[in-house]
Chain A
């Protein structure tokens, strides 16, 4: 029995023109859902001058709501300020389900709260891992507990991320689905000719920040260059730790063996990857590392730190794992260099095509939507009991927030009735048929 066609609203603070894991996930998932016949609308905040309604490939409608981001690409959390615009979008597009992304996005939390008040089913996807002990994480986990107390279904991108989300928010594990990210294998193809010569090129592409293990790189690169005279490094990416890497390069006189490319635009990532043999990832924490998938799709052997969800991402023969310790990483690079002759990039690319596919992700997400829509509707009082269990003080505060939201919604329904909001008719853009129909008319 094929699942019904849905009308989905994706909400997040993070979307194009930003590039990143969450942004790419939303874009590719939306495109694949559009191909399956669903209608997808994306809502995010305005990026500079880019505000209003835009259409992207395949008829993907994006609402760039004119709210300014205030810190780290997040909109200012005003609790109820977003209620009118979200209500309007939900009614205009005749949405059946709301899908929010990323726990760090304030717009996502607010949209999910308002959608629940209006009675829509909501799905939440968590893309990151968080700790439990520092002040920022404690507050973030409380906010997440509030949102997930009443979410219909949740999705996590790896099993480690699922365990982390369940511990942080206290929702039953059966409500959390594990659907990984995928990679666009059509874009990340290996080179026809492998870079030859007896030089081994190790590629690193990441933001050069503490979290991505730039300090480990500073320790590992000189050691590897010392042990293997035929190894060269290409480091792409920018960030606060770039200065340390430049200093390391000067100190050990590795200017001819370490290339610093600076920030690499997303379109050029493939050309940088195919110039190498090994991909090195030194992050200190990762829920799911898409960079590794891109590298594997381009036929590179990956060396990575064993953190977070990384051990689950690739089979053991495509990745060499190491503890986040410089000595262990050097040993792992040694093992990778010895494994290199057996690696065939084309074979690896073909394997990746079978292991990860965005269409598969979209189909699995469709199943989650189906389950979400089958869940029974609950009136306000039933939902309030779920919020009360969040904590002795927090539970009552959350209930108060939801009751005020409920009252504001009814006020809004009186002020701006649903009948007054125009509904958007469905456009179906068949790319090929239009031109052939035109040719037929010409013939007639």
Chain B
């Protein structure tokens, strides 16, 4: 009799569980039955890029380089405010910077036609004239505001500028370049913050020529330095590295001459950005868990704009 019963159960095997919703409850299985095929269509970390620490450190050099440029600008502002640097040497510095910038562009960009050169020269001419005409206004702009307020606002604006700056690209775009990407909202905001900070600092200076010289210097650096460094980086990586290291050495030595504590702070910041942050990024990259599966919303493969 036992053989008969076991024969019966053998001749009617349980139907296989199917991953379907129709047909009511599947016979022999509960509604909370979890098959081995549960989560078999899940794909993990499909689009995650494996990062290499050397590359990340090399990429972080752009950030340290820009930090040094901004520190140099602040140093020049400081010396001008303390009247260590007089207006004629400042003007000389401006012209020198402009010339070296042009030379760098000529050397690093492949296409350098005379027409383009004159186009740039014309733009610089307009720009400089405009600044010279407006400098009397900037001179008396913040006369009724205390110096502490001005310093506090300038510091916050510079911090905002550094925070929102677009370190990978170029805020003013590359005219005529192959990859023209429109500047994003945050890079425009950061540029404006730096311009306003320069205006505030310039307004603390005694004479109009001072104001003009400092404004010209600040505007040159904030507007054109990203463009020039982008061209250097595009030209050759080795040149970029040499330039950045030279710049860092120059900045550190000048800050050391000014104040020991600031030197320590700047050095610490540069080490943090160049070494600590890449290691941190690589470490927390291991926790990245990207989940994809049949539940994802489908991506349209065509462009919606008509």
A residues whose Cβ falls under 8 Å from a Cβ of B: 129-133, 157-161, 163-164, 166-167, 173-180, 211, 213, 215-216, 219, 244, 247, 284-285, 287-288, 305, 307-309, 312-315, 324-326, 354-357, 360, 364, 367-368
Residue in A closest to B292 when the chains form the complex, CB atoms: A132
When chains A and B are docked, how far (Å) is the Cα of A309 from the Cα of B293?
Answer: 11
Nearest CB on A from B40, distance (A)? 9
Q: Are B32 and A167 neighbours in the complex by a CB distance under 8 Å? A: no
Please pick, from A161, A175, A305, A313, the residue contacting B295 in the complex, using a CB distance under 8 A. A161
Please pick, from B21, B42, B306, the residue contacting A309 in the complex, using a CB distance under 8 A. B21
Residue in B closest to A129 when the chains form the complex, CB atoms: B295
Query: How large, as a class, is the contact surface on chain B?
Result: 20 to 34
Q: Are B32 and A175 neighbours in the complex by a CB distance under 8 Å? A: yes
Q: Are B25 and A355 neighbours in the complex by a CB distance under 8 Å? A: no
Q: Interface on chain B toward A: helix, strand, loop, or mixed SS?
A: loop
* Residue picked from B31, B41, B296, B304, most chain A C-beta under 10 Å: B31
Asked whether B38 is an interface residue with its Cβ less than 8 Å from the other chain, the reply is yes
B17-41 residues at the A interface, CB under 8 angstroms:
19-25, 30-32, 34, 38-39, 41
Q: Are B296 and A178 neighbours in the complex by a CB distance under 8 Å? A: no
When chains A and B are docked, how far (Å) is the Cα of A368 from the Cα of B32?
Answer: 9
Q: Are A178 and B32 neighbours in the complex by a CB distance under 8 Å? A: yes
When chains A and B are docked, how far (Å) is the Cα of A324 from the Cα of B302?
Answer: 11
Residue in B closest to A215 when the chains form the complex, CB atoms: B304
Q: A158-B21, A367-B31, A368-B31 are in contact. Are A285 and B297 (CB under 8 A)?
A: yes
Residues in B neighbouring A159, C-beta threshold 8 A: 19, 21
Residues in B neighbouring A157, C-beta threshold 8 A: 21
* Residue picked from B41, B290, B293, most chain A C-beta under 10 Å: B293
Asked whether B182 is an interface residue with its Cβ less than 8 Å from the other chain, the reply is no
Please pick, from B19, B297, B304, the residue contacting A131 in the complex, using a CB distance under 8 A. B297
Residue in B closest to A158 when the chains form the complex, CB atoms: B21
Q: Are A355 and B301 neighbours in the complex by a CB distance under 8 Å? A: no
When chains A and B are docked, how far (Å) is the Cα of A307 from the Cα of B299?
Answer: 11
When chains A and B are docked, how far (Å) is the Cα of A344 from the Cα of B203?
Answer: 86
Q: Are B31 and A177 neighbours in the complex by a CB distance under 8 Å? A: yes
Q: Are A178 and B31 neighbours in the complex by a CB distance under 8 Å? A: yes
Q: Are B291 and A132 neighbours in the complex by a CB distance under 8 Å? A: yes
Residues in A neighbouring B42, C-beta threshold 8 A: 163, 167
When chains A and B are docked, how far (Å) is the Cα of A285 from the Cα of B298?
Answer: 7
Residues in B neighbouring A356, C-beta threshold 8 A: 22
Q: A129-B295, A133-B290, A167-B291 are in contact. Are A315 and B300 (CB under 8 A)?
A: no
Residue in B closest to A365 when the chains form the complex, CB atoms: B31
Asked whether B294 is an interface residue with its Cβ less than 8 Å from the other chain, the reply is yes
Please pick, from A163, A244, A367, the residue contacting B38 in the complex, using a CB distance under 8 A. A163
Extra contacts, 12 of them, besides A167-B42, A167-B293, A178-B21 (Cβ < 8 A), are A129-B297, A132-B290, A163-B38, A163-B294, A174-B34, A179-B31, A285-B295, A285-B297, A356-B22, A357-B24, A360-B24, A360-B25
Residues in B neighbouring A325, C-beta threshold 8 A: 301
When chains A and B are docked, how far (Å) is the Cα of A314 from the Cα of B22?
Answer: 7
When chains A and B are docked, how far (Å) is the Cα of A129 from the Cα of B31?
Answer: 19
Q: Are B21 and A167 neighbours in the complex by a CB distance under 8 Å? A: no
Residues in B neighbouring A368, C-beta threshold 8 A: 31
Residues in A neighbouring B306, C-beta threshold 8 A: 244, 247
Residue in B closest to A173 when the chains form the complex, CB atoms: B34
Nearest CB on B from A250, distance (A)? 12
Residue in B closest to A288 when the chains form the complex, CB atoms: B21
Q: A175-B32, A176-B32, A178-B31 are in contact. Are A215 and B21 (CB under 8 A)?
A: no
**Nearest 3 interchain pairs by C-beta:** A324-B298, A180-B21, A285-B297
Q: Are B295 and A173 neighbours in the complex by a CB distance under 8 Å? A: no
Q: Are A312 and B20 neighbours in the complex by a CB distance under 8 Å? A: yes
Nearest CB on A from B226, distance (A)? 30
What are 25 A-to-B residue pairs whose CB atoms are below 8 Å? A130-B295, A132-B291, A133-B290, A159-B21, A160-B293, A160-B295, A163-B293, A163-B294, A163-B295, A164-B293, A167-B293, A173-B32, A173-B38, A177-B31, A180-B21, A180-B22, A285-B297, A285-B298, A288-B21, A307-B294, A307-B297, A309-B21, A312-B19, A313-B21, A357-B24
Q: Are B21 and A284 neighbours in the complex by a CB distance under 8 Å? A: no
When chains A and B are docked, how far (Å) is the Cα of A288 from the Cα of B195?
Answer: 55
Q: Are A315 and B31 neighbours in the complex by a CB distance under 8 Å? A: no
Please pick, from A173, A177, A305, A364, the residue contacting B298 in the complex, using a CB distance under 8 A. A305
Q: Are A307 and B298 neighbours in the complex by a CB distance under 8 Å? A: yes
When chains A and B are docked, how far (Å) is the Cα of A367 from the Cα of B25?
Answer: 11
Q: Are A216 and B300 neighbours in the complex by a CB distance under 8 Å? A: yes
Q: A167-B42, A314-B22, A368-B31 are in contact. Are A215 and B297 (CB under 8 A)?
A: no
Please pick, from A130, A132, A324, A364, the residue contacting B25 in the complex, using a CB distance under 8 A. A364
Q: Are A364 and B296 neighbours in the complex by a CB distance under 8 Å? A: no
Nearest CB on B from A17, distance (A)? 28
Nearest CB on B from A355, distance (A)? 4
Nearest CB on B from A311, distance (A)? 8
When chains A and B are docked, how far (Å) is the Cα of A441 from the Cα of B25?
Answer: 46
Nearest CB on B from A127, distance (A)? 13
Nearest CB on B from A240, distance (A)? 12
Q: Are A308 and B295 neighbours in the complex by a CB distance under 8 Å? A: yes
When chains A and B are docked, how far (Å) is the Cα of A113 from the Cα of B32?
Answer: 24
* Residue picked from B39, B290, B291, B300, most chain A C-beta under 10 Å: B300
Residues in A neighbouring B34, C-beta threshold 8 A: 173-174
When chains A and B are docked, how far (Å) is the Cα of A307 from the Cα of B302?
Answer: 17
Binary CB contact string for chain B from 28 to 70 against chain A (1 if under 8 A, 0 otherwise): 0011101000110110000000000000000000000000000
When chains A and B are docked, how far (Å) is the Cα of A163 from the Cα of B34?
Answer: 10
Q: Are A164 and B32 neighbours in the complex by a CB distance under 8 Å? A: no
* Residue picked from B20, B21, B39, most chain A C-beta under 10 Å: B21
Nearest CB on A from B32, distance (A)? 5
B257-306 residues at the A interface, CB under 8 angstroms:
290-291, 293-298, 300-302, 304, 306
When chains A and B are docked, how far (Å) is the Cα of A211 from the Cα of B298?
Answer: 9
Residue in A closest to B35 when the chains form the complex, CB atoms: A159
Please pick, from B20, B31, B39, the residue contacting A163 in the complex, using a CB distance under 8 A. B39
When chains A and B are docked, how far (Å) is the Cα of A173 from the Cα of B306?
Answer: 45
Nearest CB on A from B48, distance (A)? 12
Nearest CB on A from B200, distance (A)? 35
Q: Are A164 and B31 neighbours in the complex by a CB distance under 8 Å? A: no
